Structure 1
């Protein structure tokens, strides 16, 4: 797979051989065996190199995923070889990651008793978080409690408050609060449409017989705030995130007068009894943040 990826990336078998310190003829033989085993051509030989066929392009995507997984396994095992007592992987929503999770995990790792624990975090939308935890790709997931958890277990974590972010001269800028329905007259900048908050906003808009007019879709809150600053659209953003940059961008935060504007986050997992001791310690640490907030 490494040789196949190298050939596809360089578009040339000889150069791939130089990178891998293998003669080109040996690579050609291995690729021919791979094509024979799979029963389909993977590469088209051209005058100045090679390009993947449609089947080859599909295999290339799988091969990259396999190599990334193999590298992650190697890293995880090296941490144990170096004496680490535990390793925990977390999948988290962009809201949780941006607001408090990074600080909470850092605080956990700074405790003397936890300095031999390694924690890896990866950002995903809520459906992917639930699926990843369910399929064993991560020990813990942090997402909004509105996500469909299925059979997963959960513990409460922190909460945040959604607000409307608008430019200083926007018609809604002077309001003390605003109903969500009133924002539907304006174009929005949003996170990916399959994120939990965007699915919820679509449903809320539909309940009013309206649709959410998305002008821009971005992958993170900082990009959303930049779009609002440019005057292209307004956005529904957690107050805890927006207030950090609102002053710098000259933006106004208008509270949403909706019962669902306060969101509660959870830590989800497959079975508390099956968690490693390191994951259990981290779970208790994160859950304690909910208790501390009352």
Structure 2
């Protein structure tokens, strides 16, 4: 199969989004008949129908829907390449892509990166941040999708090199009036009689909690699954469940929201984060500067 043409894919996406070749043509400043010819050639190239032509427009077939998802990803990737290269043309001498876990993004990472970029010596460096689950951070850095990752050190880092970053402390957050609200500290097992708001099932922290519950012969009861700690606190505030979140995140809004923060006594409640990369010797100068800056933020006593 010949290489797919980005212009044709861009037109295909426009047709799917507008549902009409004429409207897509107006957006692209090209006549609808030319788009129709390109898309017919694309169908021949892929050997499958991509669009169902109806009286008042078109809709993608099942194959077309699959191609639409891939096409959007390819066009996004092409736009990133163009932007990254443009940064060199306009004088930016460094481009660093960072994948970061939910916890680090909710914590201090954004502020640490902002402080790095505000330094006069770094004014020609651009840093792109993307949030992923910790396993996704590791696989993304390993596969070359980013040069730097920041994640929990409990995840399997495989062949990646890493250096210490910050740490945080997991705690239980409950609304005032909850049966646990008067407790000054808790064992994890004492929370298992109550429904939890949880992070995605395959996130590093959720996997750890499931295993901790299993060791106790118990099951963690999920009532609601959310994507980040801020959303979890909103669920707790509504009284729908209790939450196990980062104390550093919870403290920023617990008082205003009338929530109670209860420390956990388990040793695993203190989490250490790391900055990871494939090979320190192969990092660009901009990435090296960023890594050095982040490592300087490591908590005292970090290994």
TM-score range (shorter-chain normalised) is over 0.9
TM-score normalised per structure 2:
0.95
Aligned runs of 1:244-283 on 2, under 5 Å? 244-283=252-291
For residues 234-255 of structure 1, what are the alpha-carbon distances to aligned partners after superposition, in whole Å with 9 as ceiling and x for unaligned?
0000100000000111000000
Alignment partners' CA distance in 2, 1:213 and 1:53: 40
Q: Which residue of 1 aligns with 2:132?
A: 124
Alignment partners' CA distance in 1, 2:123 and 2:33: 49
Q: Which runs of 5+ in 2 are unaligned?
A: 1-8
Alignment partners' CA distance in 1, 2:100 and 2:170: 18
Alignment partners' CA distance in 2, 1:27 and 1:62: 19
Q: Which residue of 2 aligns with 1:10?
A: 18
Alignment partners' CA distance in 1, 2:164 and 2:189: 29
Alignment partners' CA distance in 1, 2:226 and 2:208: 17
- 2:82 paired with 1:74: yes
For residues 100-149 of structure 1, what are the alpha-carbon distances to aligned partners after superposition, in whole Å with 9 as ceiling and x for unaligned?
00111111111111111111101110111111101111111000000111
Q: Which residue of 2 aligns with 1:43?
A: 51
Alignment partners' CA distance in 2, 1:222 and 1:281: 30
- 2:163 paired with 1:163: no
Q: Which runs of 5+ in 1 are unaligned?
A: none
Aligned runs of 1:124-273 on 2, under 5 Å? 124-273=132-281
Instruction: After TM superposition, give the deviation of residue 291 of structure 1 in Å.
Output: 5.6
Alignment partners' CA distance in 1, 2:246 and 2:258: 17
Alignment partners' CA distance in 2, 1:83 and 1:25: 42
Instruction: After TM superposition, give the deviation of residue 98 of structure 1 in Å.
Output: 1.4
Q: Which moved more, 1:217-226 or 1:29-38?
A: 217-226
For residues 255-277 of structure 1, what are the alpha-carbon distances to aligned partners after superposition, in whole Å with 9 as ceiling and x for unaligned?
00101000000011111111001
Alignment partners' CA distance in 1, 2:60 and 2:178: 51
Give the SS at the match of 2:108.
helix
Alignment partners' CA distance in 1, 2:272 and 2:32: 57
- 2:71 paired with 1:63: yes
Give the SS at the match of 2:206.
helix
Q: Which residue of 2 aligns with 1:288?
A: 296
User: Which stretches of structure 1, 4 residues or more, deviate above 3 A after TM superposition?
Assistant: 291-294
Q: Which residue of 1 aligns with 2:5?
A: none
1:292/1:278 Cα in 2 relative to 1: closer, same or farther (>3 Å)? farther
| Native 8 Å contact 2:167 2:299 kept in 1 | no
Give the SS at the match of 2:52.
strand
| Native 8 Å contact 2:141 2:147 kept in 1 | yes
Aligned runs of 1:91-102 on 2, under 5 Å? 91-102=99-110
RMSD: 1.0
TM-score normalised per structure 1:
0.98
For residues 66-122 of structure 1, what are the alpha-carbon distances to aligned partners after superposition, in whole Å with 9 as ceiling and x for unaligned?
010111111111111111110101000111111100111111111111111111101
Alignment partners' CA distance in 2, 1:91 and 1:262: 22
For residues 132-191 of structure 1, what are the alpha-carbon distances to aligned partners after superposition, in whole Å with 9 as ceiling and x for unaligned?
101111111000000111111100100000000000111111111100011010000011
Alignment partners' CA distance in 2, 1:239 and 1:203: 21
Q: Which residue of 1 aligns with 2:3?
A: none
Instruction: After TM superposition, give the deviation of residue 292 of structure 1 in Å.
Output: 5.2
Q: Which moved more, 1:109-118 or 1:258-267?
A: 109-118
